[in-house]
Amino acid sequence: MRPISQQTSRAGVALALVGVAGTAAIAEAPPREDTDSPSPVTIIDREQIERRGLTDIDQIARLGGVNPGINTFTNVRGVGAPGSEGSLGLGVFLRSRYTWSERDDSLLGDDETTIGYSIPRLEITAAAGVTDSVTGVISVVTRPGNSGEFELENAFAYWEIDERVALTVGQFMPAVRRGDMIHESGVGGLGRTTSHDFFAGEYQQGVQLSQQFDETSNWWWSTYISDGPRTDNSPFEDSGEFDIAWGGRFEYKPRGTWDQFTDVTSFRGDEEGLLFGLGGFIALDGETNPSSVSDLMLCSLSGDVNYENDGARIGATIDWLQEDLDGSPTIDYFGWGVEGGVFLNEQTELFGRLEQILVDDDLALTDDEFLFLRGGLNYFLIPGSQAARLSFDIGYAFDPTAPLTGLGIPGSAVMGVASDSGFVGSSEDGELVFRGQFQGRF
């Protein structure tokens, strides 16, 4: 397994804004047919689900505690009652974006501007009911930097063992950070946070046991075992896999409903909600064959709090990641972020995000504090739905971003071709990025 590269250093300060994700429903979910067989999914709030353009199958991922590749995104249209035997659904999610980047970098001379269009994400998802208690989910995506080639992302079976717990088996995004619980279409701006890109374990192969979401309970938990962070689409004998990883997440919701936290948006008319979350994992490598390192341990913790009420919301996250490689100094990374948003009317939302990544002094880099600021606007084509929206934002990196190359979770990227941030990367302070984007679910 590749160790986290060892380069970086400094410490930090910052402030916070307001911002969150908006939405708009292109199509409503097909009505559920009455069946004699119980569905593996208990619909908690039918009115909210229909208003947000969700379907019963949308809830499978949330109830299973996996990344909602079927959660706030899939306008699944198909045969039969979603989540029951014989059901079949298909969903598509698209992002089309224009990006303008300006860097003050002496290494570039007068050539400091980068502009152009891209399709940072095209996602196709299929879900089918194998039995009344087992649903299969497969999704393929194009990602930044993969030249339009599709890659397998989700490939799992969700099994409702009983009314209390469920098992997810296959390839999925385990629930650790708050961002792991939100599909791409439900994030607060034009893409995931820089902190998520740096700290998140993303897609992995393994098994996950989780509590069923139930409005009679304010607690939820999930735990998993996998091949380690960012090891999707790898064979078991791949030297890039960890020997084993174990982790999980706990959530406490004193106010609101579980359904309203399937995205980060608080539409006008949404009730008050408050959610606390804590997650983490340990990944070990170097004790089995093959292995690219000897005795590597990654430890991660993430905590978050999110509040929303009637068209306004604010959330905060803190992250810690430690790399302990035999024969090398122990390296610690820290991160924090604050994000908020407020609706100006039924369809227009202002949002903002401030976040920082702090790198261990032992890496002895010229910079070890990396501060990022974003602000923008979401316009939802139809009020109260995530189905389609236009978004614009301006981002600013206060510090040189080039030293972040190769740091964080192995395989992560916070700038450059493989990143969704829009930051190209600079060896000097100050990169300014403007982005305009359309995203939709079909």
Does residue 428 or residue 60 have the better pLDDT? 428
Residue 323: the pLDDT is: 92
Class of domain 8-441: mainly beta
Instruction: Determine what percent of the chain is predicted with pLDDT higher than 90.
Output: 40
Q: Is the pLDDT of residue 34 over 70?
A: no
Say if residues 16 and 338 touch (Cβ distance below 8 Å): yes
Confidence of residue 40 (pLDDT cuts 50, 70, 90): very low
194 burial class (0-12, 13-18, 19+ CB within 10 angstroms)? buried
Q: Is pLDDT at 271 greater than 90 in this prediction?
A: yes
Going by pLDDT thresholds of 50, 70 and 90, the confidence category of residue 110 is low
Q: Are 376 and 189 in contact (CB under 8 A)?
A: yes
Lowest-pLDDT range of 303-307, 314-318, 423-427: 423-427
pLDDT band for 85, please (50, 70, 90 cuts).
Answer: low
Contact of 25 with 385, CB cutoff 8 Å: yes
pLDDT digits (tens, 9 = 90+) for 142-194: 977 677 789 999 899 988 898 888 899 999 999 999 888 888 888 999 998 98
Say how many C-beta atoms besides its own lie within 10 A of residue 203's C-beta: 25
Q: Is the pLDDT of residue 272 over 60?
A: yes
Give the predicted TM-score (pTM) of the model.
Answer: 0.80
Q: What is the pLDDT of residues 314-369, one digit of tens each?
A: 999 999 999 998 888 899 999 999 999 999 999 999 999 999 999 988 887 777 88
